[in-house]
Every structure is written in structure tokens, then in C-alpha cells.
């Protein structure tokens, strides 16, 4: 029997099955009217549009902030680098200046010899010179 031409006899009173088939067709009848189908079509398409529209989720939000965050991080790194370089340069300059600039310790200092020590030295000198 062709699948396209089905005879619903099935070894039973065809009239009974015919009743069942009629009843089933009545129960499962699809809505009629083009308005209904246009409405369903619109709902299906609207659902597709909603589904294909990008929703805002936490990873979307994260993604949205990713670029500014990367730029900010790069700026912070650059600023830190510049600050470190400047600090190092300043340290070198200070060190060089410290080497070239006379320090207060090189200023002339008046020395005084303790009289006791001077006497002791002269005594020693005389002792040595004395034949």
C-alpha cells in the first residue's frame, strides 16, 4: 500500500475508525483565519528578533569595559614607567652633583693642637736632635 494512499481498515470496522478519525480531526483542527496565522507569524519573527538581539549579560558588560580598562591600564603603566625613569635620573643627577659640588666637609677648618700634645712633640724632637 502506498504511503500516500492509506486505507484505514486495520482489520476493524472501518466505520468505527472513521468515527475516531473524524473526532480526532475535529479535536485537532488547526485555527482557521488568516489573521491568526499572520499573528503567529509575527510572534515567531518577533521571537527570532529578540533572540538575535544582543542581550546585556555580565560578560557583555565586562566586554564593554574591557577596552577602556586596557587603555587605563596602559596609561597607568606608562605613567609609572615615566615616574620610575624620572626618579632614577634625579638620583643620578644628585649623585653626580654630590661628587662635583664641594661639600661642607672640604671647607677650611681651623685646627688647634692641644698644648700638651705640642709640648710632647717638641720634647721628642729635641731628644732626637740632641747628639
Partner 1 sequence: MTVAIAYRPQLSPVSDAKRATEREYVIAAQRGSDAAFAELVRLHQRRAYAVARAIVLSHEDAEDAVQDGFLHAYRALDRFRSDQPFGAWLNRIVANAALDLVRRRKVRDAEELPETVALPFRDPGEADELRRRLSGALTHLTDRQRAVIVLHDVEGYTHGEIGSMLGIPEGTARSDLHHARAALRRRLSDVRSEE
Answer yes or no whether residue 5 interacts with partner 1 by CB under 8 A.
yes
Distance separating alpha carbons of residues 32 and 68, to the nearest angstrom: 55
Q: Per-residue string for binding with partner 1, 15-34, x by CB under 8 A?
A: xxxxxxxxxxxxxx-xx---
Cell of 74: 596602559
Answer yes or no whether residue 118 interacts with partner 1 by CB under 8 A.
no
Q: Are 96 and 88 in contact (CB under 8 A)?
A: no
Stretch that binds partner 1, among 9-17, 72-80, 106-114, 122-130 (CB under 8 A): 9-17
Answer yes or no whether residue 55 interacts with partner 1 by CB under 8 A.
no
Q: Is 56 helix (H, G, I), strand (E, B) or coil?
A: coil
Amino acid at each position: 500500500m502506498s504511503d500516500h494512499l492509506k486505507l484505514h481498515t486495520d482489520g476493524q470496522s472501518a466505520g468505527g475508525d472513521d468515527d475516531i478519525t473524524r473526532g480526532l480531526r475535529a479535536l485537532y483542527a488547526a485555527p482557521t483565519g488568516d489573521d491568526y496565522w499572520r499573528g503567529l507569524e509575527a510572534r515567531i519573527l518577533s521571537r527570532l528578533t529578540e533572540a538575535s538581539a544582543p542581550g546585556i549579560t555580565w560578560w557583555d558588560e565586562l566586554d564593554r569595559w574591557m577596552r577602556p580598562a586596557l587603555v587605563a591600564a596602559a596609561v597607568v603603566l606608562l605613567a609609572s614607567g615615566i615616574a620610575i625613569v624620572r626618579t632614577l635620573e634625579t638620583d643620578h643627577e644628585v649623585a653626580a652633583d654630590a661628587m662635583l659640588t664641594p661639600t661642607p666637609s672640604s671647607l677650611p677648618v681651623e685646627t688647634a693642637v692641644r698644648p700638651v700634645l705640642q709640648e710632647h712633640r717638641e720634647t721628642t724632637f729635641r731628644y732626637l736632635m740632641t747628639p
